[in-house]
Chains A and B, each alone.
Chain A
Amino acid sequence: MRLELRGITKRFGALVANDHIDLVVEPGEIHCLLGENGAGKSTLMNVLYGLYDADEGEILLDGEVQNFEGPGDAMGAGIGMVHQHFMLVPVFSVAENVMLGHETTSGPGILDLAAARETVRSTADRFGFHVDPDALVEDLPVGVQQRVEIIKALSRDAQVLVFDEPTAVLTPQETDELMAIMRQLKDEGKAIVFITHKLREVREVADRITVVRHGKVVGEAEPTASDNELASLMVGRAVQLTVDKEPPRHGENELAVEHLVVARPDGQVVVDDVSFTVHGGEILVVAGVQGNGQTELTEALIGLYPDFEGSIRLDGEELKGRSVRKVLDAGVGFVPEDRSTSGLVGEFTIAENLILDRTDGAPFVRAGSLQLGLRDEFAREKVDEFDVRTTGIDLPVGRLSGGNQQKVVLAREMSRELRLLVAAQPTRGVDVGSIEFIHKRIVETRDQGIPVVVVSTELDEAVALADRIMVMYRGRVVGIVPADTPRDVLGLMMAGVAPESEGDAA
């Protein structure tokens, strides 16, 4: 089936998310949609899938204009989507998830589970992988869940398949397997749209490449184009992802983590026997595919998992058993992974957010009362120092852009006397200008002789920022290696393969 988008325009108020986008995908072709976060790729696909109504433009399948009221119509017309955030019901079985919405029934409305199991099995067999139709989705690893999504789309006889950032949650190995599946689908004559911002993947499978930037198609490229060509098309200027920094000078502070085991409330071990040391004046980047225990590791460091096993010592002082408050008081700065859910209170003003961690006493609280004058003075100072672009300190922080929000978090966390800085995904969803600023501040902190732990899932950022890189896989440390380790070695490590020459496991 041939998919054609003509002049799709989608506005949110004054913002144009998609600006007259044209796209043609032929059957038996993998068409890559390449663009930065926020370029409008997902919006476009949501229009295609009937989730958004386009303000202008039309969708054609095999030359016929379609009018989708909702995803049901899109699916009926033969469009299938593998969502970035899986659209699976965790407590349902694989078979139930696959049949949901187009159930096979025997008798009046009675589910025919046997038929659904058969569908799952036969589709899985076609691609040579095994999925238990009766397993609950929540019990399955992420990679398998994604296959369930694929089976779901295929079971509806989708002829156009959209993969929305499918590799974000996969190891390099799983990514390769996905690429193989995509090629097989292509050979079966499906039209495939592959949305991504990772250049390597694009060049590996794409037949054609369309680059979008700021909601517009800025060009088409051949898979033979170089990384640099693609990248500059995508970003609109030459990209430079290096961070200027001096060689590390070890300070006195030291973070020592030994045999750390963290379990979720349901008993699943998410950080498994992790040991490492970070010296003052050094940045340790924790790398790995998202969801391999990095988040929980940082949360354990600041006391969000009070009953972990093992020990966390800062300058010889045991942090285990301390409340978050006490850990912060010990001089730990923490930039959480998701600023909107964990870092900031969106409805609070910038000033209020800047003293969120200071409610336990002087100088901002005297006799139980907030010192508003002092607070505002402090806030103005920090807004200046961290270059937060805002109309005033009384603006609700939720109305700032992502980069400025992150600067508020950073300003708060760096305004205490620090002995350790932990920053999880500090530049996620942040504009390029802010990224440079944030990196600079992190390096400055390191240069003050403070140990710094940064979690990053972007290999480029990890390599640029790190003095050493620790790779985690399934809760375990695969290895701790120098920052100049070759990328392919790091990639293998992210898939759980230990490097041949074991780095220091201290």
Chain B
Amino acid sequence: MTAPTVDGATTGAPDAPRTVSTISWKTPIALAVVLALYALLMLLAPREGSARFALSTPTDFFQIPVYVIPGMGTAWVCAAVAAALLVVSVLATRDGRRTPLWVTSVYAAALLFGFLAWAAAGSPRDLSVVGLLGGAVALSVPLVYGSLSGVIGERSGTINIAIESQLLAGAFTAAVVGSLTNSPWAGLVAAMIAAALVGLVLAVFTITYRVNQIIVGVVLNVLVIGLTSFFYSLVLVPNTQTLNSTTRFERLPIPFLERIPVIGPVLFDQTIVVYLMPVVVFLVWYGLFRTRWGLRLRAVGEHPRAADTVGIEVLRTRYRALLIAGAVGGMGGAFYTVVSINQFNREMTAGAGFIALAAMIFGKWNPIRAALAGLLFGFATNLQNVLSVVGSPVPSQFMLMLPYIVTLFAVAGLVGRSRPPAALARPYTKE
């Protein structure tokens, strides 16, 4: 897939090593395949009628009328836009340049909009854009916190397959402590502590005992499922009133802002855990790339021996990273039992930890990108909910599959190369 043609242009500087172009055709090929599949769907399953998009909620400053647009017409216009962008990508690749990010972004947005128009066509119900986006934000909370947990751990050199168990442990503990204290805050803090403890176990086995990190992660997931399910049936179920019914965080609508159409209800009528999300994302990003803590953490994840030789305690740094990562993951776990609903259920995280892992990879180990990927996957999950309301022709199972398929494409390098931290999965021994 790589074009090994010699690129004379970069030979300029006498000291710079000569390079050849390694721009691959993967991006245009991926775009073409997706577009072809989209067109095939439109051709094989055309839909009659118009799509109705509702943008407003009753409390907005002003009301925007429901947009009614022709379903298939819009779908094909979007396909045309996507095709034009595909051409741009092909041309760019042929000239040995990367496909610009805006091209892939607009391409994706166009196809998504076209797909929505197609799916909602002919439905008598309005497709609520607010419901779509608001739900996406809510569903993405555990994914975003989980992916941040993954980013912090992996940047320090430890693969964290155990995000799932951190979410689950957090959810369980938040339910019990939240119920006992009647305080969602206490539940949140307890969840962070519980998930940090899972992180500690991961650290003990991977850092001190140098057990294969993936194996510890997989086993921890099973262990936490076993523990939480065991105590759930034996302790929580008989004592639901005292141990498993929490007070949830209240929504905190922000005055004025919440009444802006579309973004008001989506962004400014949420709970504190959701408001904290961008703050934590920023803090993690800033911490990793602008502080001493982050510089050292990344150093032990990239080249632990080099870090050691300048006096950084590699193992301690990794331990601390996994504890902090666990606490962040625990915030996502708390979402289940003190934000979303008010009680714990067996295996209630249902694989969200693995989607969070996928978001981290998709986000190339960068907290901001990972959070955006988490939002994207939350959106995909919620899309299925919203489409089932308007009576979508796409089976829900395929919508639910989407995040995983996207991740498969991502790790296969079709969405651009990414480079994990160099010392990932390598235990460190000084002597």
| Contact in complex: A81, B292 (CB < 8 Å) | no
* Beta-carbon contact of B308 and A71 below 8 Å: yes
One of A33-41, A88-96, A275-283, A390-398 contacting the partner: A88-96
Closest residue on chain A to residue B21 by CB atoms = A267
- Is A152 a contact partner of B310 (Cβ separation < 8 A)? yes
Q: Inside 8 A of B419's CB, which chain A residues have their CB? A: 91
Q: Interface size (A, Cβ < 8 Å)? A: 46
Interface residues as binary, B63-98 with A (CB distance below 8 Å gives 1, 0 otherwise): 000000000000000000000000000000000000
Contact flag A269-B17 (CB < 8 Å), given A87-B306, A89-B302: yes
Contacting residue for A268 out of B17, B303, B309, B311, CB 8 A: B17
B257 within 8 A of A: no
Bound together, the chains give a CA A110 to CA B378 distance in angstroms of: 33
Say yes or no: B17 contacts A51, CB within 8 Å.
no
Q: With the chains together, A89 CA to B295 CA distance in Å?
A: 11
Q: Return 24 A-B CB contacts under 8 Å, by A number.
A: A51-B431, A52-B431, A53-B431, A70-B308, A90-B422, A92-B298, A97-B306, A100-B299, A101-B307, A102-B311, A105-B291, A105-B292, A110-B290, A111-B290, A111-B291, A261-B6, A263-B19, A265-B2, A265-B22, A266-B22, A268-B18, A268-B19, A307-B2, A309-B6
CA distance A72 to B316 in the complex (A): 14
Contacts of A71 in B (CB 8 A): 308-311
> B20 at the A/B interface (Cβ < 8 Å)?
yes
Task: Check B2–A87 contact: CB distance below 8 A.
Answer: no
A141-B15 contact, Cβ under 8 Å, with A70-B311, A89-B302, A101-B310: yes
Contact between chains at B20 and A269 (CB < 8 Å): yes
Task: State A218–B310 Cα separation when bound (angstroms).
Answer: 32
CA–CA, A70 and B7, complex, Å: 47
With A103-B292, A111-B290 already in contact, the answer to whether A267 and B309 are too (CB < 8 A) is no
Please, which residues of chain B bring their CB within 8 A of the CB of A272?
18
| Interface status of A439 (Cβ within 8 A of chain B) | no
| B292 CB, min distance to chain A CBs, angstroms | 4
- A92 CB contacts on chain B under 8 angstroms: 295, 298-299, 302
Query: Is B47 located at the chain interface by the 8 A CB criterion?
Result: no
By a CB distance below 8 angstroms, the chain A residues around B290 are 110-111
Query: Which residues of the other chain, A, contact B307 by a CB distance below 8 angstroms?
Result: 89, 100-101
For chain B, the count of residues having a C-beta within 8 Å of the partner chain is 34
B293 in contact with A307 (CB, 8 Å): no
- CB under 8 Å from chain B, chain A span 66-120: 70-73, 75-76, 81, 83, 86-92, 96-97, 99-103, 105, 109-111
Cβ contacts under 8 Å, A322 to chain B:
none
A474 at interface by CB-CB < 8 Å:
yes
Q: A75 is contacted by which of B15, B295, B310 (Cβ under 8 Å)?
A: B310
**Are B20 and A263 in contact, with the CB atoms below 8 A?**
yes
Measured CB to CB, the closest approach of chain A to B429, in angstroms, equals: 11
A163 beta carbon closer than 8 Å to chain B: no
The answer to whether B19 touches A100, judged by C-beta atoms less than 8 angstroms apart, is: no
CA distance A76 to B6 in the complex (A): 49
**B21 contacts across to A, CB distance below 8 A:** 267
Q: How far is the CB of A151 from chain B (nearest CB, A)?
A: 13
**6 nearest A-B residue pairs (beta carbon):** A72-B311, A101-B310, A87-B306, A267-B22, A269-B18, A267-B19
> Could you tell me if B4 and A263 are in contact, using CB atoms closer than 8 angstroms?
yes
| Whole-angstrom CA separation of A462 from B249 in the bound complex | 76
Q: Does B305 contact A (CB under 8 A)?
A: yes
